[in-house]
Amino acid sequence: MASIATGLAARLPQIIDDIEELIVAESPTADLAAVAKCAEIVAALGTRLTGQAPEWLFSAGRPSLRWRFGSADARSKVLLLGHFDTVWPIGSLLTHPFAVADGRLTGPGCFDMKAGLVQLFHALSVLDDLDGVTVLATSDEEVGSISSRALIEAEARRAGAVLVLEASEWGALKTERKGASLYDLTIAGRAAHAGLEPQRGVNATIELAHQVLALADIADLAVGTTVTPTVATAGTTRNTVPDSALLLVDVRVETAAEQQRVDAAMRALTPVLPGAELRLSGGPDRPPLQATSSAALFARAGRLYGELGFGQLRGVAVGGGSDGNLTAGAGAPTLDGLGAVGGGAHADHEHVIVAELPRRAALVGELVAELCKEPA
């Protein structure tokens, strides 16, 4: 065990250089050319460190990279999952250049999650046997994995365990993630002159207000369920009774049962004003990553972390989603947040704690080594 940690600690300068190479290849999700260029760098990195080139998989013109080692062609003992797209637009390096200072590494996308990808491949490179390992790196996680979702779920269904290399706020692994449902509620009313005959209209803004109050009743904070109206639009001119309105709704839940309950309640919404009509679109988007999915893997990770001499490992439940929600929803035991330690995802203060880079890579390496020893 000490040899893996020692070997990765000695590699820290190379790990930093590899992270820099990924960061300077800016890759905002919407820029397909930039994402493709970054994919080439990820592919070269993985090939150099594992000795095997990836498969290039495309959906809607967008690349994903997959490595399958040995018996993983039949069924994976462990799937390692990450993404190389970021939320940072081209040109962000001018205002947020790559830098290493005072024990912190900075640059657009360093924390979420280019450092995690580098840790992943360095962790695999120090292992003697990768039989049964699959690696999947995708390019649209930041917009909800629209094109890669089916691929992620398919790989999860054939995996004994999933390790997600998303970033870790202050070192805590993600043992639970809320599920998310997204809805668009369209309200149809009837226009009329607001001064001459407002009584002839059906005011979509007033109906919208009634529906906002109804949504508040669906939430159940006692069990962690939030139903949040976010964007609301209505009306066209000041002197016209609005004939339409649109309300966007964000739902977060801790359990699949709550996700189903809220979905049923959303679909049961009815108009309050005579003559108003409601049209609902959307629904459950990401299932929850529940503690039952991560518990065994987290216990194993905690034991290995202590045996490595790194102390006690912490877990945390969060409201934000990741591709770990998809793998857990597909039935695979999933542990998330195994990537870079730091903070500031999507923000000006995004950073990675340099000293934690080889430590987290060592934890991932030890987890993979143990999981590969188990029967498929």
List strands edge to edge, sheet with 244-253.
226-234, 244-253, 179-188, 277-286
Q: How confident is the model at residue 269 (pLDDT cuts 50, 70, 90)?
A: very high
pLDDT tens, residue by residue, 279-307: 999 999 999 999 999 999 999 999 999 99
Range 12-26 average pLDDT:
98
* One domain for residues 173 and 62: yes
* One domain for residues 63 and 140: yes
Please say which residue of 236, 260, 286 terminates a domain: 286
CA distances from 198 to 190, 202, 209, 243, 271 (A): 10, 8, 18, 12, 19
* One domain for residues 250 and 347: no
* One domain for residues 341 and 226: no
Please say which residue of 246, 265, 286 terminates a domain: 286
* One domain for residues 295 and 159: yes
* One domain for residues 292 and 281: no
Inter-residue contact 133 to 161 (CB < 8 Å): no
175 Cα distance to chain centroid: 13
* One domain for residues 117 and 262: no
Residue type, 155: E
Look up the pTM and report it.
Answer: 0.92
Q: Please give the tally of structural domains in the chain.
A: 2
Q: pLDDT exceeding 70 applies to what percent of the chain?
A: 99
pLDDT tens, residue by residue, 196-235: 999 999 999 999 999 999 999 999 999 999 999 999 999 9
CA distances from 162 to 20, 78, 207, 299, 337 (A): 27, 6, 45, 14, 11
Q: How confident is the model at residue 375 (pLDDT cuts 50, 70, 90)?
A: confident
pLDDT tens, residue by residue, 242-264: 999 999 999 999 999 999 999 99
Three-state SS at 294: helix
Q: How confident is the model at residue 1 (pLDDT cuts 50, 70, 90)?
A: low
> Looking at residue 153, what is its pLDDT?
98
Compute the mean pLDDT over every residue in the chain, rounded to the nearest whole number.
97
Angle in degrees, 0-180, between the axes of helices 291-307 and 356-372, rounded to the nearest 10: 110
* One domain for residues 159 and 41: yes
* One domain for residues 244 and 154: no
CA distances from 363 to 93, 120, 335 (A): 31, 10, 12
CA distances from 255 to 93, 164, 355 (A): 40, 20, 36
* One domain for residues 67 and 173: yes
Please say which residue of 286, 308, 339 terminates a domain: 286
Full domain range(s) for residue 282: 179-286
Tell me the two tokens of residue 113.
Answer: 């999650």
pLDDT tens, residue by residue, 88-138: 999 999 999 999 999 999 999 999 999 999 999 999 999 999 999 999 999
* One domain for residues 230 and 329: no
Cα separation, 272 vs 208, in Å, equals: 10
> Looking at residue 374, what is its pLDDT?
84
Which amino acids are annotated catalytic? 85, 141
List the CATH number of the domain containing 194: 3.30.70.360
List the CATH number of the domain containing 16: 3.40.630.10
pLDDT tens, residue by residue, 49-70: 999 999 999 999 999 999 999 9
Inter-residue contact 160 to 75 (CB < 8 Å): yes
> Looking at residue 376, what is its pLDDT?
64
> Looking at residue 3, what is its pLDDT?
81
Q: How confident is the model at residue 331 (pLDDT cuts 50, 70, 90)?
A: very high
* One domain for residues 196 and 264: yes
